[in-house]
Amino acid sequence: MNALRMSDMQEQRFDTAALAARARRQSAVPLRRAGALTELAIVGVAACLAGKPDCSTVVLWGSRTGARAAGIRVVRDVVIAREAPFPFDFLATQPILAAIPLQQSFPCIASVLYQPWTGDVELHWQRMRTLAAMFLRAGRHARALCGQVEPGTDEHIGRWQVLEN
């Protein structure tokens, strides 16, 4: 059995305006309600796929704080505006919805799996790499992108790694 190739870890850092602008440039679909969580996924995947040939790709990604922060932001905005939120506001906080613009923007993406993170970051990375290796060795995909995205108040950070047969 061939050994898997694993790229170096890529780290991206953006302020809010730069992240939104880059995500909108790299997305093939409008990102009307997308938050930093989805934007980080789009720019991270775009960086991983830049210059690579098309082949069946799985994206495994997660965040320790992103989904919670997005939900808190919606609730905070409701309190400040003193208006009821639209259902789409809460729906937009769901990280798995990033699969839609990812698959529409990058046709080589066959599967997108979001994994919430708790506890030990290194343990989670190991679990994600193990799952990616299982997909690749089973022949389900030729490439796996593993990512951790952490939206912040002033700075948004994404870390990505590519595994290939």
C-alpha span between 16 and 60 (Å, rounded)? 23
Q: What is the pLDDT of residue 92?
A: 56
C-alpha span between 122 and 119 (Å, rounded)? 9
Q: What is the pLDDT of residues 83-138, one digit of tens each?
A: 666 665 655 556 678 899 999 999 999 999 998 887 889 999 999 999 999 999 99
Q: What is the pLDDT of residue 24?
A: 96
Helix (H), strand (E) at residue 46: helix 36-49
Q: What is the pLDDT of residues 33-89, one digit of tens each?
A: 778 889 999 999 999 999 999 999 999 999 987 666 666 566 666 666 666 666 656
Are 67 and 152 spatial neighbours (Cβ–Cβ below 8 Å)?
no
Provide mean pLDDT across the span 136-153: 95
Q: Look-up: residue for tokens 């992108």?
A: 145
Are 48 and 69 spatial neighbours (Cβ–Cβ below 8 Å)?
no
Q: What is the pLDDT of residue 42?
A: 97
Burial letters 11-29, b for 16+ CB under 10 A, else e: ebebeeeebbebbeebbee
